[in-house]
Amino acid sequence: MITTDKKITSRIDHTFLKANITGKIVDSLCKEAVEYEFASVCIPPYFVKKAAQMLTNEKPRVCTVVGFPFGYSCTPSKVEEARKAIDEGANEIDMVVNLAAVKDQNWNFVFNDLQTVAVLTQMRGALVKVIIETPLLVDDEIKKLCEICMKVNVDYIKTCTGFAGPVEMDSIEVIKHYIDDSIKIKASGGINSKSFVNELINAGVSRIGTSSAIKIIS
């Protein structure tokens, strides 16, 4: 099944999270997001206020990241990042799981870290997406993180930061196996073709994080 351009654009988080982002790049992202009716722009916390001002009364939402890209900042820091971002206009928070705690199998810490940020985020009316960084995980770790995300009641599980490798279809299938319809999937990392986007959407992915959105829809 080939999806329509509208079905694709409405799922895209128009993303630029590299260190060399500038205000002019944010201007372009926001204008393109409005023109093509992308789901959101996903930008660093520093530019949330600017993006929120540009997208006032517009359809695209403002998405930013917390604990990015490695996830091992302390929980209070993540909470403050999320709080400030929401106060400045973010509607969606993409939070990186503490991968060090995952690899240490400190699941109580992982649960508490995610829950603390998720509660704050959702109480303030924003969506929370948990980035689990699938390229660094084995299937049993993905399973455990899916179980924790279900308990925490996050809005999305997101596959990758893009810094550790691309998303793979096998990881999408593993995630789908261990969650129900209460949690959606955001795929990100190395997504740069319409054919791959179609494959992801047909596999049940609800959001696409990509820095190649214009290329994909052109």
Long-range pairs, 210-213, Cβ under 8 A, ≥24? 210/12, 210/13, 210/14, 210/15, 211/15, 211/16, 211/17, 211/18, 211/162, 213/9, 213/12, 213/14, 213/15, 213/32, 213/36, 213/38
Tell me what pLDDT residue 2 has: 44
CA distance 55 to 69: 25
pTM: predicted TM-score of the whole model, two decimal places: 0.96
Tell me what pLDDT residue 3 has: 52
Torsion of CA 77, 70, 110, 180, to 10 degrees: 120
Domain spans in the chain, listed from the N-terminal domain onward = 5-217
| 5-217 classified as CATH 3.20.20.70 | yes
Residues 100-148 have pLDDT tens digits of 999 999 999 999 999 999 999 999 999 999 999 999 999 999 999 999 9
Q: What DSSP line would sit under 96-119, residue for residue? A: E--HHHHHTT-HHHHHHHHHHHHH
Burial classification of residue 25, based on how many CB atoms lie within 10 Å of its CB (0-12 exposed, 13-18 middle, 19 or more buried)? middle
Residue given tokens 């944010």 in the structure block: 26
Mind telling me the catalytic residues? 94, 158, 186
Tell me what pLDDT residue 4 has: 54
Q: pLDDT truncated to tens, each residue of the chain (218 aa)?
A: 445 588 999 999 999 999 999 999 999 999 999 999 999 999 999 999 999 999 999 999 999 999 999 999 999 999 999 999 999 999 999 999 999 999 999 999 999 999 999 999 999 999 999 999 999 999 999 999 999 999 999 999 999 999 999 999 999 999 999 999 999 999 999 999 999 999 999 999 999 999 999 999 98
Tell me what pLDDT residue 1 has: 42
Say if CB 143 and CB 110 are below 8 A apart.
no
Tell me what pLDDT residue 50 has: 99
